[in-house]
Amino acid sequence: MTFAAYPRITRLILLALIAVLPSTLSAQEKRLTIGFTNPTGTAALPYVMAEKKGFFKKEGLNAVVVIMQNQVVVNGVVSRSLDYGATIANFIGAAKGGLPVRVVMAIMDGLDHVLVANANIKRVEDLKGKNIGISSFGGAPHNEMVMILRKYGMNPDKDVTFLQIGGGATRYTALESGSIHATMLVPPMNKVAREKGFNEILYFNEIMKVPLSGLSVHVDKIKESPQEIVKVIKALLTSVDFIRANKSEILEFLEKNWGIKDPAVREGFYGDMLGLYSRTGIVSDETIANVIRFTQATRKTQENISVSDITDWTFAKRANEELKR
């Protein structure tokens, strides 16, 4: 796909990114851009802390995280106007479509997404005939709900009504207003909802382990800058270690920077996070196969693709060796 083939709005965003990246910097000073989709949450925290605590700089990297929409992240890496994408599922879908990208690290072993419903709904089967909020058709919350409903013997095409609401904050507001009866939420919103009387029905990890947060790159980056990739992964692994070892500082950060004032919500958020972070940045082929099934959940056609065609754990293994894990 050529640059001109991207939608006009995507081209404008990519051109804006290119404009702010200096072209005359030395190799040591070169700014690395990491495209991400959400500035808060379990998946975001290792990137935030890697910047805040200087773990990127410790590896000699001038790295910055840029927040943008999912597809823009993929398009940015494909066009080489972004150095890294901080997601997995989108890039697996892109690799399946023949685009030259690979997943090189998994930040989490699973998902922190939770099915939250109003007080009258106690179990998945109670969702029959109800309105369920999703971000978009084919997006992660939609795929999750389809898989949950099928697991519990329900027909997602007939038994519920899906409403495209938007991002997690918007869906939470819709849940509070009563315009939807249930939705998938991530910490800390699921904890806030529980404190306000809504029910946490099911963690998606109970259905399937699907890591959606990680590090993905263009295949040319693998050829051109292998040690740089190792350094980025080392910084992120160090960041996860810091989160595990510094509970009080992380709780303070959640309160002051992310506005999570309720101590019970902060504690619950922190406890859930620790159970999800990968210690090595590497997940099994079976787990990646889960991601492939996840991305195909709402598609009519099913493509066959080898795990080796979409992942490359070489750099994560080297990062662990250099960190003497």
Examine the fold and report which residue of 206, 226, 243 is the final residue of a domain before the chain moves on.
206
The rounded distance, in Å, linking the Cα atoms of 220 and 224 is 6
The rounded distance, in Å, linking the Cα atoms of 168 and 149 is 20
The residue-averaged pLDDT of 190-213 equals 90
Do residues 49 and 39 touch, judged by C-beta distance below 8 A? Answer: no
Of 223, 239, 211, nearest in space to 58 by CA:
239
pTM: 0.80
pLDDT for the residue 241: 97
Residue 136 CA neighbour count, 13 Å, CB half: 6
- Does the pLDDT of residue 16 top 90, yes or no? no
If asked whether residues 201 and 249 sit together in one domain, one would say no
The residue-averaged pLDDT of 48-64 equals 95
Cβ-Cβ contacts under 8 Å for 1 (sequence gap 6 or more): 78, 99
- Tokens 């989160």 correspond to 243
The rounded distance, in Å, linking the Cα atoms of 95 and 238 is 28
If asked whether residues 62 and 171 sit together in one domain, one would say no
Examine the fold and report which residue of 183, 206, 229 is the final residue of a domain before the chain moves on.
206
If asked whether residues 99 and 123 sit together in one domain, one would say no
Q: Containing domain of residue 89, as a range? A: 3-110+210-322
- Residues of the chain with pLDDT > 70, as a percent, come to 90
If asked whether residues 225 and 277 sit together in one domain, one would say yes
If asked whether residues 233 and 90 sit together in one domain, one would say yes
pLDDT for the residue 216: 96
Examine the fold and report which residue of 206, 224, 250 is the final residue of a domain before the chain moves on.
206
If asked whether residues 318 and 214 sit together in one domain, one would say yes
Mapped onto helix, strand or coil, the DSSP state of residue 104 is: strand
Question: Other CB atoms closer than 10 Å to residue 9's CB: what's the count?
Answer: 10
Both tokens assigned to 43 = 């998946």
- Does the pLDDT of residue 29 top 70, yes or no? no
pLDDT for the residue 302: 62
Rg (CA), the chain: 20
39 vs 202, more confident: 202
| CATH number of the domain residue 131 falls in | 3.40.190.10
Of 198, 202, 199, nearest in space to 152 by CA:
202
- Does the pLDDT of residue 18 top 50, yes or no? no
pLDDT band at 25 (very low <50, low <70, confident <90, very high): very low
pLDDT for the residue 128: 97
pLDDT for the residue 317: 97
- Does the pLDDT of residue 5 top 80, yes or no? no
The residue-averaged pLDDT of 172-198 equals 92
If asked whether residues 57 and 153 sit together in one domain, one would say no
Cβ-Cβ contacts under 8 Å for 262 (sequence gap 6 or more): 191, 192, 195
283 vs 16, more confident: 283
- Does the pLDDT of residue 24 top 50, yes or no? no
If asked whether residues 314 and 221 sit together in one domain, one would say yes
Q: What is the pLDDT of residues 69-107, one digit of tens each?
A: 877 899 999 999 999 999 888 888 888 888 999 999 999
If asked whether residues 265 and 118 sit together in one domain, one would say no
Decide the pairing of beta strands 101-106 and 213-218. Answer: antiparallel
DSSP sequence for 50-102: HHHTTHHHHTT-EEEEEE--HHHHHHHHHTTSSSEEEESHHHHHHHHTT-SEE
Do residues 184 and 139 touch, judged by C-beta distance below 8 A? Answer: no
Q: What is the pLDDT of residues 34-49, one digit of tens each?
A: 998 888 889 899 999 9
If asked whether residues 304 and 167 sit together in one domain, one would say no
Sign of CA dihedral 116, 120, 123, 124: negative
If asked whether residues 106 and 226 sit together in one domain, one would say yes
pLDDT band at 300 (very low <50, low <70, confident <90, very high): low
Both tokens assigned to 205 = 């990890």
pLDDT band at 9 (very low <50, low <70, confident <90, very high): very low
If asked whether residues 171 and 228 sit together in one domain, one would say no
- Does the pLDDT of residue 269 top 80, yes or no? yes
Work out how many domains the chain is built from and give that number.
2
pLDDT for the residue 133: 96
